[in-house]
Amino acid sequence: MRWITREKVKVDRVACPWLIKKLVDPAAEFLFVPADKVSEIAQREGAIPYDVPNVELGHHDGRCSFEAIVEKYGITDPAIRMLAQIVHGADVDHDLYGRPEAPGLEAIAEGFRYLGLKDDHEVLAREFIVYDALYAYCRRVVGANKLQ
């Protein structure tokens, strides 16, 4: 399946593809386009839009798109739930959870913008390891041992 969002990815728009590839759609393909083109290209390409206004997998009730994906796909893994709180705190202005890891994730995501990477696909390729490591940390904290 194809998934689509705004270009120039940062926290939520990197975390969502990581989650989608890990637990929702391992064969997912991601499209990154100008914000004003997401709806048009999503329709044309049959792609699922995320992290844009007025879509199911976007920000709702103060929660981020990563949280919307966790809810829609019924992901109950406690480590993913913890990771969702960290992503939330790094991505939104009004943090609901106060996870101390969130500012660090936000700083790392911001730092990736200054590495001079060629495009959003390269950002994902390089930054997924950050989410792998953060997920491993969350598993350790909640006492889980594997993806569920």
With a CB cutoff of 8 Å and minimum separation 6, the contacts of 37 are none
Structure-token pair, residue 86? 């960290």
Pairing of β 2-6 and β 48-49: parallel
Q: What does the pLDDT profile of the chain (148 residues) look like in tens digits?
A: 999 999 999 999 999 999 999 999 999 999 999 999 999 999 999 999 999 999 999 999 999 999 999 999 999 999 999 999 999 999 999 999 999 999 999 999 999 999 999 999 999 999 999 999 999 999 999 996 555 4
**pLDDT of the residue at 146:** 54
Per the CB < 8 A criterion, the answer to whether 135 and 79 are in contact is yes
**pLDDT of the residue at 148:** 46
Phi-psi region of 2 (alpha: psi -120 to 50; beta: other; left: phi over 0): beta
Share of the chain above pLDDT 90, in %: 96
How many Å apart are CA 85 and CA 70, to the nearest integer? 11
Closest CA to 64 of 115, 102, 112: 102
Record the pTM.
0.93
Side-chain half-sphere of 86: how many Cα atoms within 13 Å?
A: 25
